[in-house]
């Protein structure tokens, strides 16, 4: 990965942070981006001099274009993009508001659109056979109760990934997605608390139910996902495109 320059969104916490650190260990140049600029700076400092931090809200098209330019000026042309930023909220479908729907779709679906479009424009401008990895979800493969709006936004990521992969394959650009299961991150802490309240149980019981659904018998770690993102970005995955790779400990198998 020493010759790669990787831009990651939502990299201040959880899966994005683990991916940034994994690419850093591989010797890549890493643009650590997040809406939380201070958090991104802390991750970049952990990686060292080959990393830079950028404040970036993935729903802001102008900011996405600007950060690609700034990151390339600081680190060299971007060759790998991990479009990972995502959010969730949890409610029964009958209680959802338009604001819930728009919040999830604006970051999870539109954020992937804007980041991927900027990536393809950047790759074409530099003649780079680049790689895009999107973070979808287990909820992009099978509908998740209490997360109908989130599930719909993540199914959109799979549709986008497949269609874009077909469109840019002739340019030598690969586009794949990872579909994580129940990952120990700040998002999971929030979801366990919401789910416990909605179901009248405790966050501990909710987390145990996640483990009970997982054949490999534990909660997933951010590093479990990061290692697969690094693989998909590498030449070892050179003949893979348009895939949504399940990284769930066996929760979902097809």
Ligand X SMILES: NC(=O)c1ccc[n+]([C@@H]2O[C@H](COP(=O)([O-])OP(=O)(O)OC[C@H]3O[C@@H](n4cnc5c(N)ncnc54)[C@H](O)[C@@H]3O)[C@@H](O)[C@H]2O)c1
Nearest distance in Å: CB 55, ligand X: 9
Instruction: Please give the biggest Cα pair distance in the chain.
Output: 55
Q: If binding is defined by CB under 6 A, does position 116 make contact with ligand X?
A: no
Q: Which is nearer to ligand X, 72 or 140 (CB)?
A: 140
Angle at 223 between CA 217 and CA 228, to 5 degrees: 95
Closest contact distance (angstroms) between CB of 29 and ligand X is 20
Assess contact for 30 and 20: CB atoms under 8 A: yes
Nearest distance from C-beta of residue 168 to ligand X, angstroms: 22
Window of 20-28, 53-61, 91-99, 195-203 that interacts with ligand X by CB under 6 A: 53-61
Can you tell me the distance from the alpha carbon of 251 to that of 88, in angstroms, rounded to the nearest whole number? 20
The verdict on 16 binding ligand X (CB under 6 A) reads: yes
Count the neighbouring beta carbons within 10 Å of the beta carbon of residue 186. Answer: 11
Closer CB to ligand X, residue 47 or residue 58?
A: 58
Nearest Cα to Cα of residue 31 among 63, 101, 102, 79:
79
Helices (H) and strands (E) in the chain, counts: 9, 7
174 binds ligand X (CB under 6 A): no
Q: Pick the catalytic residue: 23, 68, 150, 160?
A: 150
**How many C-beta atoms surround the C-beta of residue 217 within 10 A?**
9
Q: Phi and psi at residue 235, in whole multiples of 5°?
A: -70, -20
Residue 252 is a catalytic residue: no
Interface with ligand X, residue 151, by CB under 6 A: no
Could you tell me which of 7, 48, 5, 2 has the C-alpha nearest to residue 133?
Answer: 7
Which region, judged by CB under 6 A, interacts with ligand X, from 10-18, 116-124, 167-175, 234-242? 10-18
Distance in Å, CB of 79 to ligand X, minimum? 21
Among 6, 8, 14, 51, binds ligand X (CB under 6 A): 14
Residues interacting with ligand X, by CB under 6 A? Answer: 9-10, 12-16, 34-36, 39, 56-59, 84-87, 107, 135, 137-138, 180, 182-183, 185-188
Catalytic residue IDs: 150
């Amino acid at each position: 990965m020493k010759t790669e320059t990787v831009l990651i969104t939502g990299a201040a916490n959880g899966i994005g942070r683990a991916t940034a650190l994994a690419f850093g260990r591989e010797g890549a140049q890493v643009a650590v981006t997040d809406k939380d600029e201070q958090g991104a700076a802390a991750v970049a400092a952990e990686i060292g001099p080959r990393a830079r931090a950028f404040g970036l809200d993935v729903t802001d098209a102008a900011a996405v274009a600007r950060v690609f330019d700034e990151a390339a000026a600081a680190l060299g042309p971007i060759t790998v993009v991990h479009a990972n930023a995502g959010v969730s909220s949890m409610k029964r479908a009958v209680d959802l508001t338009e604001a819930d729907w728009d919040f999830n779709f604006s970051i999870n679906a539109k954020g992937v659109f804007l980041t991927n479009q900027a990536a393809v424009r950047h790759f074409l401008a530099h003649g780079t056979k680049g790689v895009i990895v999107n973070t979808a979800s287990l909820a992009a493969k099978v509908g998740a109760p209490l997360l109908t709006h989130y599930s719909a936004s993540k199914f959109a990521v799979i549709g986008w990934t497949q269609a874009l992969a077909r469109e840019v394959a002739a340019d030598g650009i690969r586009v794949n997605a990872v579909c994580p299961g129940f990952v120990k991150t700040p998002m999971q802490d929030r979801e366990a608390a919401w789910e416990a309240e909605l179901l009248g149980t405790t966050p501990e019981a909710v987390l145990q139910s996640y483990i009970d659904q997982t054949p490999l018998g534990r909660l997933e770690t951010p590093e479990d996902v990061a290692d697969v993102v690094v693989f998909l970005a590498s030449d070892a995955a050179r003949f893979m495109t348009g895939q949504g790779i399940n990284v769930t400990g066996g929760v979902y198998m097809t």
